[in-house]
């Protein structure tokens, strides 16, 4: 059946290319001399929609893609959290959407670039949206939220070129980033496929049972496709050949019925254990060793549906760590707390104040007192009647509320006595190099150790200021003398860790 084309307001369109001009066609030759007519809605509609076609791309994680699927509860963890879907029993499935991304590149950049990968999941539970906005690394570059905006001077302000001198200047002055830098410059920094990488919460969260029993938790999502990485040469070649390699790979896997699957596990820590933990439980640059805090499998994720419209279903996805359900609470990790604000804020800018009304972001059932705003489509009350009062009415219609069964004060970390306000940042110490040392000596394969050394040498050799090169080299010497020496040989400098006697 032929589909009749209509303009943005539903009027039949006579011809896609016709437009209106003053005057008539000259009798001898096809020539209309008159100007365009403002009354021509079809042309004005076409042009004005085109003029507004681009929306701001994500300020970070702009390049990415994703798919839909489900999360299934595989183990009973009612002793850890009352959060849905876990509270609804083993076998419960909820629909989800997932988006993978690189961090620094713009939306058209190659998706195989050396970069951490975003690993974001939107679950549509009976208690509302629960977003897990994770990375493919267990730690992050920073633990002070004020460092996030300056940490991403992605391009030189004068030349608009990538500038490794700026990048290493920042890192060598903020060396708590070292663990993440080591992952980034090993082959783990260039995964072969979105489907072949693990995801981590990085942050500590709190999970709470209905009777108020709570644990600190971290989540890990383990790929069932195994892990495969490109080396530097392969990554560069793939980027040149197909900048959308990973986007294509995910689509092809799903189309072929090879549905990517991950298991979901949780690590738990009691408040008492956290007192004895060697590091701050809220320090995002630290891992919880799996031999001390074992992984407990809780669920699985399956991606089995490609988007039918990429813009509507993937580009308009708006994730936020603040989307939590009762039974899941934020920790006091200051970076997490900052993210609780930053994501909904950026969505209001990128997608508009009613971004939660977009079908891909819409919670299962909304019912509230918000009204109007740009591009409101539901009358403003979700599933309340359209004429419902915009306050808790006793009659129009009568409304009720559900309190969390636990007391938020009872699960809050104690605020230590002392000054009411403390201003500052975390301080760097040798403690910050212990886990990077373990990563280098015990967790990296020989290939990863070698790739780290050669990729860092390549990168540092393009740093143009000698002091920055030296300070960066010294940072690796704080991790391990052998590592410092190997990189030092490649850049022609002698390493010296300033923190070591
Ligand atoms: C203070 C620290 C951070 C700030 C201010 C921040 C801010 C942002 C912003 C503004 C976006 C763009 C969102 C959008 O336009 O849709 C974003 C994306 C993202 N961030 Fe962060 N971020 C921080 C740290 C982190 C950390 C620690 C992780 C992982 C553990 C992370 C994971 C992600 C992911 C996965 C995305 C992409 C989400 C998507 O696919 O739409 N971020 N971040």
Boundaries of every domain in the chain: 1-53, 64-144+190-357, 430-491
Q: Which of 67, 98, 118, 351 to mutate to test the pocket of ligand 1 (most atoms within 8 A of CB)?
A: 118
pLDDT band at 501 (very low <50, low <70, confident <90, very high): confident
Nearest atom in ligand 1 to the alpha carbon of residue 145 is: 1
Q: What is the pLDDT of residue 153?
A: 63
**Residue 30 reports pLDDT greater than 80:** no
* 133 pocket-lining for ligand 1 (C-beta < 6 Å): yes
Known binding-site residues for heme equal: 343
pLDDT computed for residue 330 by the predictor? 98
Residue carrying the six token digits 């300056």: 150
Distance 119 CA to ligand 1 centre (A): 10
Q: What pLDDT was estimated at residue 409? A: 93
In three state form, how does the secondary structure of 427-468 look? CCCHHHHHHHHHHHHHHCCHHHHHHHHHHHHHHHCCCCCHHH
Rounded mean pLDDT, 253-271:
98
pLDDT tens for each residue of 196-236: 999 999 999 999 999 999 999 999 999 999 999 999 999 99
Are the folds of 1-53 and 64-144+190-357 the same?
Answer: no
Q: Are strands 93-102 and 128-135 parallel, antiparallel or unpaired?
A: unpaired
* Encoded tokens for 303: 């991606």
Q: Which CATH architecture has domain 1-53?
A: Irregular (4.10)
CA distance 494 to 245: 40
Quickly tell me which residue has 């994770």 as its tokens.
Answer: 134
Question: Which residue among the candidates 42, 113, 135, 245 is catalytic per the annotation?
Answer: 135
Q: Phi/psi zone of residue 160: left (φ > 0), alpha (ψ -120 to 50 degrees), beta? A: left
Residue 455: pLDDT over 70 = yes
Q: What spacing in Å lies between the alpha carbon of 149 and ligand 1's midpoint? A: 11
Of 55-64, 154-163, 437-446, where does mean pLDDT reach its minimum? Answer: 154-163
Band of the pLDDT at 385, cuts 50, 70, 90?
A: confident
CB 298 within 8 A of CB 350: no
15 half-sphere exposure, CB direction, 13 A CA radius: 4
- Say if residue 180's pLDDT is above 70: yes
Mean pLDDT, residues 268-282 taken together: 97
Q: What local confidence, expressed as pLDDT, does residue 384 receive?
A: 82
Query: Would you tell me how many other CB atoms lie within 10 Å of the CB of residue 209?
Result: 19
- Alpha carbon of 158 to those of 155, 165, 428, 454: distances in Å? 9, 14, 31, 29
Q: Is the pLDDT of residue 312 over 80?
A: yes
- Is 61 tagged catalytic? yes
Closest CA to 342 of 53, 52, 61: 61
Mean pLDDT of the chain: 94
Q: How confident is the model at residue 48 (pLDDT cuts 50, 70, 90)?
A: very high
Average pLDDT of the residues in 419-431: 94
Mean pLDDT of 71-94: 98
In 98-122, which positions are buried (b, 16+ CB within 10 angstroms) versus exposed (e)?
bbbbbbbbeeeebbbbbbbbbbbbb
Single out the residue of 149, 119, 178, 86 nearest to residue 452, CA to CA. Answer: 178
Is residue 148 within 6 Å of ligand 1 at its C-beta?
A: yes
Structure tokens at 290: 């799996």
What is the 148 CA–ligand 1 centroid distance (Å)?
A: 10
Ligand 1 pocket, residue 321 CB under 6 Å: no
CATH superfamily of 64-144+190-357: Catalase core domain (2.40.180.10)
Its pTM stands at 0.95
pLDDT value at 94 more than 70? yes
pLDDT at 26 over 70: no
In which band, very low, low, confident or very high, does the pLDDT at 29 lie, cut at 50, 70 and 90? low
Query: 404 C-alpha vs ligand 1 centroid, how far in Å?
Result: 28
pLDDT digits (tens, 9 = 90+) for 118-158: 999 999 999 999 999 999 999 999 999 999 998 876 688 88
CB of 145 closer than 6 angstroms to any ligand 1 atom? yes
- Pocket flag, ligand 1, residue 61 (CB < 6 Å): yes
CA distances from 172 to 41, 209, 424, 473, 500 (A): 58, 43, 19, 8, 16
Q: Say whether pLDDT at 86 is over 70.
A: yes
């Amino acid at each position: 059946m032929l589909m009749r084309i209509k303009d943005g307001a539903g009027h039949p369109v006579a011809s896609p290319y016709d437009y209106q001009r003053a005057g008539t066609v000259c009798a001898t030759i096809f020539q209309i001399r008159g100007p365009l007519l403002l009354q021509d809605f079809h042309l004005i509609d076409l042009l004005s929609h085109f003029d507004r076609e681009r929306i701001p791309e994500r300020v970070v994680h702009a390049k990415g893609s994703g798919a839909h699927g489900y999360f299934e509860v595989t183990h009973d963890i009612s002793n850890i959290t009352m959060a849905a879907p876990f509270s609804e029993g083993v076998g419960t499935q909820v629909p989800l959407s997932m988006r993978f991304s690189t961090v620094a590149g713009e939306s058209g950049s190659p998706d195989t670039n050396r970069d951490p990968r975003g690993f974001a999941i939107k679950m549509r539970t009976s208690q509302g949206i629960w977003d897990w906005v994770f990375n493919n690394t267990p730690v992050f570059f920073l633990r002070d939220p004020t460092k996030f905006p300056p940490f991403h001077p992605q391009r030189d302000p004068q030349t608009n070129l990538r500038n490794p001198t700026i990048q290493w200047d920042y890192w060598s002055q903020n060396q708590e980033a070292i663990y993440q830098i080591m992952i980034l410059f090993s082959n783990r920094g260039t995964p072969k496929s979105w489907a072949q990488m693990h995801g981590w919460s990085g942050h500590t969260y709190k999970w709470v049972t209905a009777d108020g029993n709570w644990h600190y938790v971290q989540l890990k999502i383990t790929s069932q496709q195994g892990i495969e990485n490109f080396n530097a040469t392969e990554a560069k070649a793939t980027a040149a050949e197909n900048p959308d390699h990973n986007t294509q790979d995910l689509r092809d896997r799903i189309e072929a019925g090879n549905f990517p699957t991950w298991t979901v596990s949780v690590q738990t820590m009691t408040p008492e254990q956290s007192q004895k933990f060697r590091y701050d439980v809220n320090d995002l640059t630290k891992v919880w060793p799996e031999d001390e805090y074992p992984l407990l499998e809780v669920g699985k994720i399956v991606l089995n549906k490609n988007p039918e419209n990429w813009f509507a279903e993937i580009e308009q996805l708006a994730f936020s760590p603040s989307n939590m359900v009762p039974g899941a609470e934020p920790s006091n990790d200051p970076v997490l707390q900052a993210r609780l604000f930053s994501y909904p804020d950026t969505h209001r800018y990128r997608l508009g104040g009613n971004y939660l009304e977009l079908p891909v972001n819409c919670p299962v059932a909304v019912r509230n007192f918000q009204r109007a705003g740009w591009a409101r489509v539901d009358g403003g009350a979700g599933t309340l009647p359209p004429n419902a009062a915009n306050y808790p009415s006793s009659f129009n219609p009568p409304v009720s509320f559900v309190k969390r069964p636990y007391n938020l004060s009872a699960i809050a970390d104690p605020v230590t006595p002392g000054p009411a306000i403390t201003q500052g940042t975390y301080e760097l110490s040798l403690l910050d190099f212990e886990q990077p040392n373990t990563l280098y000596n015990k967790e990296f394969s020989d290939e990863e150790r070698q790739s780290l050394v050669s990729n860092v040498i390549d990168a540092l050799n393009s740093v143009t200021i000698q002091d920055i090169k030296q300070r960066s080299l010294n940072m690796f010497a704080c991790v391990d003398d052998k590592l410092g020496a190997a990189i030092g040989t490649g850049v022609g400098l002698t390493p010296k860790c300033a923190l070591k006697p």
